[in-house]
Structure 1
Amino acid sequence: MKIKDELNTQLTQLGHISSLPNSPQEAKLERVPAPFEDYQYTVRFTAPEFTSLCPITSQPDFAHLIIDYIPNKWIVESKSLKLFLGSFRNHGAFHEACTVEIGTTLVKLLHPHWLRIGGYWFPRGGMPIDVFWQTNTPPKKVWIPPQEVPPYRGR
């Protein structure tokens, strides 16, 4: 019960009504202690309906994001991650900037053993753009499933 009480005082969004932040800079990513510090395991978040705005035309862009990481001392609180990702909805940035910003922001918050993000962007101007970023070589002996998002194929 003590852990739950501690987390309730640290977490500002979980268990509360939270509005979608206006921008990634306004979003508050939160973390909680990793439940198994002595083990290495992979955590995956998938956001198949990620949206942002083109910084030039303000037209919407759509992506399927996959974030894999091997926790160290912290894991990301999932509601805060959902709100953070949702804050890009009105944010103007190129695909590369959005994808890498999400990855680097998570690394600064969590200090994981390893993190990778795959941004599978739907076509803009008839051409899909896929963006991949990772921190370093993944640790050995940890199962990291392939992302297996098929490349975009027009009709």
Structure 2
Amino acid sequence: MTEENIYANLTQLGGATVQPKSPEEAVLEKVPNPQKDTGYCVRFTAPEFTSLCPITGQPDFAHLVIDYVPGDWLVESKSLKLFLASFRNHGAFHEDCTVSIAKRLVDLLEPQWLRIGGYWYPRGGIPIDVFYQTGPAPEGVWIPEQSVAGYRGRG
């Protein structure tokens, strides 16, 4: 498989792109996994994720950790960054944001396994952490701990 074949259908990589106005408008792209016969874990960390409170419109902040064991597909990272940035003006509760991101990735990639940890900074003095995974991790694949400390002025 040549690089040209892998990346031929991408529309955002390598060029200027506009930040999507909403998660629904955001285009997530995938590329064939050139190591699909090897079990391995991919991690994306977004320590400055933002969305809006759907009631007050005030900004909410989270540290997201997304781990997945790919099957036939990999998510293209620029499209993931733009997708995550599209939540900046999106009003939703922490639970909805976190689980919606996971489900969108699962629908796109059909991974062997995926989990997300949404470590949200306090709202009203209470941090809310949201966790989702598709099932047990595949045997024989090293899945590191997410290692985000409990809230103590996170950082």
Q: Aligning the two structures, in what range does the TM-score lie when normalised by the shorter sequence?
A: over 0.9
Cα distance per residue 1:99-143 (max 9 Å; x no partner): 000000000000000000000000000000000000011111110
Contact 2:102 2:132 in 1 (8 A): yes
Contact 2:43 2:66 in 1 (8 A): yes
Question: Which runs of 5 or more residues in structure 1 are unaligned?
Answer: none
Pair 1:140 & 2:139 matched: yes
The residue type paired with residue 10 of structure 1 is N
Give the secondary structure class of the aligned counterpart of 2:63: strand
For these two proteins, the number of residue pairs brought into alignment is: 154
Cα distance per residue 1:20-55 (max 9 Å; x no partner): 100000000000001211111000000000000000
The residue type paired with residue 37 of structure 1 is K
How is 1:33-112 mapped onto 2 (pairs within 5 angstroms)? 33-112=32-111
Cα distance per residue 1:37-92 (max 9 Å; x no partner): 11110000000000000000000000000000000000000000000000000000
Report the identity percentage.
67
Q: TM-score, normalised by structure 2?
A: 0.96
Q: TM-score, normalised by structure 1?
A: 0.96
Give the secondary structure class of the aligned counterpart of 2:8: helix
Q: Show structure 1 runs of 4+ deviating over 4 A.
A: none
Q: Aligned-pair RMSD on alpha carbons?
A: 1.4
Contact 2:6 2:32 in 1 (8 A): no
